[in-house]
Every structure is written in C-alpha cells, then in structure tokens.
Amino acid sequence: MKYNEISVGLDIGTTKIVALIGRKNEYGKVEVLATGKAKSLGVHRGVVTNITQTIQSIQQAVDEAVTISGVNIKGAVVGIAGQHIRSIQHSDYITRSNSDEVITDADIDKLINQVRKLVMLPGEEIVHVLPQEYKVDSQPEIKEPVGMFGGRVEAKFHVVLGQTASINNVGKCIKSAGIDLVDITLEPLASADAVLSQEEKEAGVALIDIGGGTTDLAIFKDGIIRHTAVIPFGGNVITEDIKEGCSIIESQAELLKVKFGSAWPGENKDNEIVSIPGLRGRDPKEITLKTLSKVIHSRVMEIIEKVYIEIKNYGHDEPKKKLIAGIVLTGGGAQLKHIKQLVEYVTGMDTRIGYPNEHLAGDSDESLSSPIFATSVGLLMKGLNSKKRYMSAFVEVEENEEIIEVDFEKKNIDDEVIKEKKESKTPEVPKKNFMDRWFDKFKDFLDKAE
C-alpha cells in the first residue's frame, strides 16, 4: 500500500466538519482508515462566516483522523454547498479541422474549457461544467463521442456556479489549516455517488440531502445530472423553530427534535408530554409531543414544498422527464421520524432513505452507514476515483524518505520498518544551525587575531 492509494474527504458542513481517510480494498469497496469529527462553529447555511473558528474546527477534525490512522494528511477533496450556489444550462460546440480523425479526450477537454471561459455575473465563478449529452454533426443524443468521427462536436452542459468570495474563503480555511485543496466538488453530487445506484440514475431520481444549514437537490435522468439546487433551509432552522415555539434553549430544542421529533403531527396524542428542566432553579417546562410535531411539521412542509417546486421546474410532469425511481432522502434531516411518509404524501413520489453503506467495506464502523455521513463518504469516493488523487495523503516518516510499503491493518507504521529504513540510509553530517555557524566564524576570527 503506497501513499497515493489513499485519499481524504473533508466535509465542511454547517453543524459538523468530518475528515475521512480511506482507501479501496481488493473488492473495490471503500475502507475507512480513520474518521475525525468536530463541531462546525464558523459556518452558516453552508457559507464560511468566521474564518478563525472554521480553521480551528478543520484542524480538530483532521488531527483526530491523523492520530487514529497514523497517516498524515497533505491534501483533501473538499465539498462545497451553500445558498450562494446556482446552476444554469448551456450549449456550446467546437469545429474540428479534420473530420476524418477520431474524436479524442483532447477535443472534449477543449469544449469543456471553452465553456469555462463563459462570462459570469460579477463575483461569480464556475464550479463544475457537467456534460449532459453530445451531438456529433447531425447525430444527436450521444453519451460518449470519443472514438467517433465528425467535424462539429456540440454538447449541452449543466454549469454549477458559486460566489467567488465564498469559494475563496473555503480555500483560505483549508490552506490555513495546513492542507492542500486537491479538488472541490458540489456536495449533492458527492452525496449522490454515495447513496444512489446507477439503475436509479438511469430511471430518474431526485436526491434530497437535508443538512444542518441547507437542503441540497440533485436530479438524475438517463444516468446524467439534469438539475441541481440549494434550498437555504435545513435542520438548524427546525431546531430554531422549536426553540422559539417552546421557549427553551437551543441545546434542549436539538435534543427534543432528535429524541421525540416527528414530521407527522397526527402520530402523537394530546396526553404525551415531555418535561424540560428549568433554568437556574426555575420550574420544569412541560411540552406536549403533539405541539412539538406541529412546529416541526410546518417547517419540514416548507422545505419539501420548495424542493418540489425545483423538481417541477426540472420538468418532472413531462413523460420523458419522469423520475421513475422517485426520491431518495439523505443527510441528518433524513433521520427525522416519519419524514419519508410526509415526502411521499406531498409529492406523490416513491421515497426511500439513502444510506452510504453500499460502497463501504464490510468491517467499516457502523456509524458511517448513517445518512449523516453520505456527503463525507461521497467526497472520499470522489478522491479515490479521481485523477487528482496524488499527494492527498502520505505517511510521514522522515524528510526526503522514499515511499515505503505500509501495513494499514495495524493502522500505523511498524517500528521495525522505520528502523530498517533509517539504518539503510547513508549517515549524514548533522546540519549546523545559525548560532553554531556564527560561533565558528567568531572563533575563527579570534584565532586569526592572535
């Protein structure tokens, strides 16, 4: 196992920051070597609002993963989301000088780079250029033009845009935490890789990732990404509503949501009551679970309706664009009781909860199978499958050390291996520091003066 077979996924969310270090096992499954988690303090609705706090949270998550695995992180694949993200559809083409030569990857790269030069609104930049389908000369609906012959190559693109300032702030935080930005990817695309099957993408499916700060949507049809959107509401807004509606503090509201919350108010009876401890000697506060579920229901309904509007904007009602596989819910919000039933009721579409365990090795930590880690696992998978995988992580033994084989089953480097490598090196003369060199010169000066 060499260092470039390892990758790192870094999910900078509104509620948590997760660093996953992993590799692929012999069966092609993702083996997570270490997980580092930290509370996200400087991010609001997917956007960095406090750089110092975000850097500290990233370092905390990374340090935990490094300590567990013994692998030192150099770079990471990072997810990006937030209310500043939007997408557009765009068509473009190139004319080839010789139509008798086969179309190559270089031609497709030229076409994509041409799209990347599009003039955006001030303060915006392109995050992704995702080809949907190609047209070679007069032949339409081509998925893979490489290897074909033709003079004109045209394509429809799904272009994802983001605010330059927000993207740069993420980059600054990563760099300040001592990590290289290997690649950046839209979080719903990463989540989709982790929880959707190829059959679902072919049939047509809408992935709804309900995070802490935002709800992300990615729609696939015929195996191609068709639509993406970011709704600026998530689980944190539900917690805020409980806090305001029940007049309790935030930590109590979050606990109520997780332990007793339901998106379906008819489920609870009027006599089901939970008692919340009072502040500083005050009497406990009693809240009915029916009241709690009504507060949650109204906000979840708002989120679902906004997502459903985006699904309709894509054209779900058209026969050719129908999403046969329905909806897949993932993210922390997907764990809310009865949310699946509510989504089915509002949209009339088949719904399931998406778990990232399909791509994980059998001996993986059970907690990683939770929808909460869908984005993190997807980012790690993106890194492992990417050509930019190089230098995403390495085993730091000694400066200028050649790459060595490492037994990661032990989760660390074998002391004997390090010892053997050190002994095999030619002894080097220790380098003198500045004070030693100055002292030598001063001594030489005194000797000559005598």
For 232-247, give the DSSP string: S--HHHHHHHHHHHHT
Dihedral angle computed from the Cα positions of residues 185, 189, 191 and 193, in that order, rounded to the nearest 10 degrees: -110
CA atoms 313, 314, 319, 324: torsion sign: negative
- pLDDT at residue 351, rounded to an integer: 97
- pLDDT at residue 407, rounded to an integer: 40
The angle at the Cα of 6, spanning 3 to 7, to the nearest 5 degrees, equals: 130
- pLDDT at residue 448, rounded to an integer: 54
Residue type, 423: E
Cα–Cα distance for residue pair 134/144, rounded to 1 Å: 7
The angle at the Cα of 199, spanning 196 to 205, to the nearest 5 degrees, equals: 55
Where are the strands (E) in 1-151, listed by range?
6-12, 16-24, 30-39, 43-44, 47-48, 72-73, 75-80, 86-95, 124-136, 139-142
- pLDDT at residue 108, rounded to an integer: 95
Contact 330, 374 (CB under 8 A): yes
- pLDDT at residue 28, rounded to an integer: 85
Length of the chain: 450
Q: Cα-flanking dihedrals φ and ψ of residue 303, to 5°?
A: -65, -45
Token reading at 124: 């915006």
Dihedral angle computed from the Cα positions of residues 389, 330, 192 and 75, in that order, rounded to the nearest 10 degrees: -10
- pLDDT at residue 410, rounded to an integer: 40
- pLDDT at residue 411, rounded to an integer: 40
Reduced to 3 DSSP states, what percent helix, strand and coil does the chain have, rounded to the nearest 5? 40, 30, 30
Token reading at 132: 């949907």
Token reading at 280: 């500083």
Q: How far is CA 178 from the centre of its chain?
A: 19
Q: Where in the chain is the domain with CATH 3.30.1490.110?
A: 86-162
- pLDDT at residue 441, rounded to an integer: 56
Contact 269, 290 (CB under 8 A): yes
Distances, alpha carbon 192 to alpha carbons 151, 334, 373, 413, 420, in Å: 35, 14, 12, 34, 44
Cα–Cα distance for residue pair 59/61, rounded to 1 Å: 6
Buried b (16+ CB within 10 A) or exposed e, 8-35: bbbbbbbbbbbbbbbbbeeeeebbbbbb
Cα–Cα distance for residue pair 37/168, rounded to 1 Å: 23
Query: Residues 6 or more apart from 21 whose CB is under 8 A from it?
Result: 6, 7, 8, 32, 33, 34, 65, 66, 69, 71, 73, 393
Where are the strands (E) in 232-289, listed by range?
273-276, 285-288
Buried b (16+ CB within 10 A) or exposed e, 404-433: bebebeeeebeeeeeeeeeeeeeeeeeeee
Residue 123, helix vs strand vs coil: coil
Contact 159, 118 (CB under 8 A): yes
pLDDT of the chain along its 450 residues, tens only?
Answer: 444 578 999 999 999 999 999 999 888 889 999 999 999 989 988 889 999 999 999 999 999 999 999 888 889 999 998 888 999 999 999 999 999 999 999 999 999 999 999 988 899 999 999 999 999 998 998 999 999 999 999 999 999 999 999 999 999 999 999 999 999 999 999 999 999 999 999 999 999 999 999 999 999 999 999 999 999 889 999 999 999 988 889 999 999 999 999 998 877 777 788 888 877 778 888 888 888 999 999 999 999 999 999 999 999 889 999 999 999 999 999 999 999 999 999 999 999 999 998 888 887 888 899 999 999 999 999 999 875 544 445 444 334 444 333 343 344 444 444 344 444 444 444 445 555 555 565 556 555 554
- pLDDT at residue 362, rounded to an integer: 80
Domain covering 86-162 assigned CATH 3.30.1490.110 in the classification: yes
Token reading at 56: 């500290």
